[in-house]
Chain A
Amino acid sequence: MRFSYKPWQKNCEEHGIQLFPVGHQKQGIVHVMGPELGLIQPGMTVVCGDSHTATHGAFGALAFGIGTSQVEHVLATQTLKQSRAKSMLINVNGKLPVGITAKDIILAIIGKIGHAGATGHVIEYAGEAIRGLSMEERMTVCNMSIEAGAKAGLVAPDEKTFAYLEGREYTPKGQDWEDAVAYWKTLYTEEGATFDTVVELEAADIAPQVTWGTNPGQVIGVNTPVPAPEDFSDPIEKESAVKALEYMGLKPGEKLANVAVNHVFIGSCTNGRIEDMRAAAQIAKRGKVADSVTAIVVPGSGNVKRQAEAEGLDKIFIDAGFEWRLPGCSMCLGMNDDKLVAGDRCASTSNRNFEGRQGRGARTHLVSPAMAAAAAITGRFADVRDYQE
């Protein structure tokens, strides 16, 4: 990445923009380290030249990804001209069952509304199951708003938000903190507000999710058989299913429990935070990585890596046969050497299962960190609920 990195560093120096460069102890994926430092706060408008900027909506910020020309526009003018987005309310009702994670919630949502289901919308995630999530879990949900086609996704700030932010490096201090919290408390949707689209999900219905196809909307519960093209009434979805099954090397009716994986990737801006490391380690300590599997764990930032090591999680992973890596994006997009070859099948905690995303011809199945760790140990897709203590 040196080609684009050098001019970047030079430009930041010239214009007084703070950079956390390679080698900096707080360096990491922007969607992991930004919130860690308290840089993202409720009510902010946050843009970044990356589609997973929606992550920051977890703080009640309007956060969305933009292209290079728009980044240039923001740097030059501090503004961006936008058309008004449509609004979508997604209620996840009831308590989340044991063994079901934020990743399963967002995959289930995308499975329900489709890969383009929220195009043109900003989503507000609400309901008891969302309120019950930690800040890191809310980040996982908001992160994949783009995989539902949404421009952004957010969660109204609450006491959990304020508790997370208090005392972080870049959050307001003293009287400013008091003033900020007073303002942040006004940032919620009024009772009876109307939305362009409303979607309801029951948390109790959500099983551990695994994608079977080549877009994140092609997803099923771990115990659901792989669908057949005839299961889809829409001709375009049917055609997509034919192509996806062929690319993924799966047959209709096949059980995921019989599908062997040879790679596992735990990390990314979706699932590279400390709680993700803990969830994966909980499963990892129950066994050893199968001989047929190469499994890597990549913390999302320097801070996550140090914290995990302080808790001894690195040791759990290494003892179980996982590789413990330096922080970064790694195998999420295969931009460095962490890429797969044709025919490889990977259980991945990342966010995109597009054709070739992790390497030309490679097959990606999106799952939660716990499901990924279970796949590493069993060498197949296993129901992580069978591992609950």
Chain B
Amino acid sequence: MSEQGFTQHTGIAAPLDQANVDTDQIIPKQFLTGVTRAGYGKHLFHDWRYLDLEEKEPNPAFALNKPEHKGASLLLARENFGCGSSREHAPWALADFGFKTVIATSFADIFYGNCINNQLVPVALSSEQMDALFAAVKADPATKITVDLPAQTVSFNDTSFSFDIAEHHKNNLIKGLDAIGQTLELTSAIEAFEDKQPAWL
């Protein structure tokens, strides 16, 4: 699962001004039919993005379909983004669509971990900071937003916000490290721990 690392990304944002966006909305169950990670982007936000089941009629009112947000590579949302089902298809779909980072007030735990494992950078900002970002994109959809992971900042216009991220998450994202490979280097310690377990386990 090793991929290129993420250091800095600049792009325009699609504003999804909603709380509690769940993974059923991000990628509905009828599309969880593959055994690979590619090709989910066209079904991203299916129920909101399309007026029909065949995905032929885009919903013009939905943020991702608006011409001014075409080519967006950053997604803005509100609190508890990615709640619900643990399906990893959610970050797969977001990444496949072209998003490099999701900036939201907060993230559901499982979704957050899934993002880290898929080089999709989850950035949590305060509610007020999100207000400022949404306002900037509303005022000018072409606003360039930069996420700098080593510096832990989100910058746009003359504003810069810093964000928190666990050191090991940050490190893995920057280096695009293979988590399994890293852990396998600790095999002898893992086996020693397993040997200490009681007989009934």
- If A116-B20, A119-B80, A354-B84 touch, whether A70 touches B109 (CB-CB below 8 Å) is no
Q: Are B86 and A356 in contact (CB under 8 A)?
A: no
Contacts of A116 in B (CB 8 A): 19-20, 79-80, 83, 106, 108
- If A69-B1, A172-B200, A354-B84 touch, whether A149 touches B108 (CB-CB below 8 Å) is yes
Contacts of B108 in A (CB 8 A): 116, 119, 149
* Bound CA span A116–B180, Å: 30
* Bound CA span A215–B83, Å: 10
A118 to B: closest C-beta gap in Å: 10
Contacts of B25 in A (CB 8 A): 354-356
Contacts of B179 in A (CB 8 A): 69, 73, 81
The contact string, 1 if C-beta is below 8 Å from chain B, for chain A 164-204, is: 00000000100011011001000000000000000000000
- If A67-B110, A77-B183, A240-B20 touch, whether A50 touches B86 (CB-CB below 8 Å) is yes
* Bound CA span A237–B20, Å: 10
A12 CB-CB contact with B under 8 Å: no
Q: Are B20 and A115 in contact (CB under 8 A)?
A: yes
Size category of the A interface is 35 or more
Residue of A whose beta carbon sits closest to that of B48:
A355
B39 to A: closest C-beta gap in Å: 13
A179 to B: closest C-beta gap in Å: 6
A258 CB-CB contact with B under 8 Å: no
A339 to B: closest C-beta gap in Å: 9
A49 CB-CB contact with B under 8 Å: yes
Contact of A65 among B86, B184, B199 (CB under 8 A): B86
The contact string, 1 if C-beta is below 8 Å from chain B, for chain A 68-90, is: 11101100111101010100000
Main secondary structure of the interface of B (DSSP, over half): loop
Q: Are A179 and B200 in contact (CB under 8 A)?
A: yes
A225 CB-CB contact with B under 8 Å: no
Contact of A77 among B83, B113, B117, B180 (CB under 8 A): B180
Residue of A whose beta carbon sits closest to that of B115:
A67
- If A119-B109, A356-B25 touch, whether A69 touches B84 (CB-CB below 8 Å) is no
Residues from 83 to 101 in B contacting A, C-beta threshold 8 Å? 83-88, 91
Contacts of A73 in B (CB 8 A): 179-180, 183
Contacts of A64 in B (CB 8 A): 110
A7 CB-CB contact with B under 8 Å: yes
B68 CB-CB contact with A under 8 Å: no
B61 CB-CB contact with A under 8 Å: no
B25, B34, B88 interface centre (most CB from chain A within 10 Å): B88
Contacts of B198 in A (CB 8 A): 179-180, 183
Chain A interface (Cβ < 8 Å from any Cβ of B): 3-4, 7, 44, 49-51, 64-70, 72-73, 76-79, 81, 83, 85, 115-116, 119-120, 146, 149, 151, 172, 176-177, 179-180, 183, 215, 236-237, 239-240, 243, 333-335, 352, 354-357, 360
Nearest 7 Cβ contacts at the A-B interface = A172-B200, A116-B80, A67-B88, A69-B117, A67-B114, A176-B200, A68-B88
Beyond A51-B110, A360-B47, 15 additional pairs, beta carbon < 8 A: A3-B33, A4-B35, A66-B110, A66-B113, A67-B113, A68-B88, A73-B179, A73-B180, A81-B179, A83-B168, A116-B19, A116-B106, A119-B109, A236-B19, A356-B28
Question: What are 15 A-B contacts defined by CB distance under 8 Å?
Answer: A50-B86, A51-B85, A67-B117, A70-B117, A73-B179, A76-B184, A77-B183, A77-B190, A81-B168, A85-B109, A116-B80, A116-B83, A119-B106, A146-B110, A236-B19
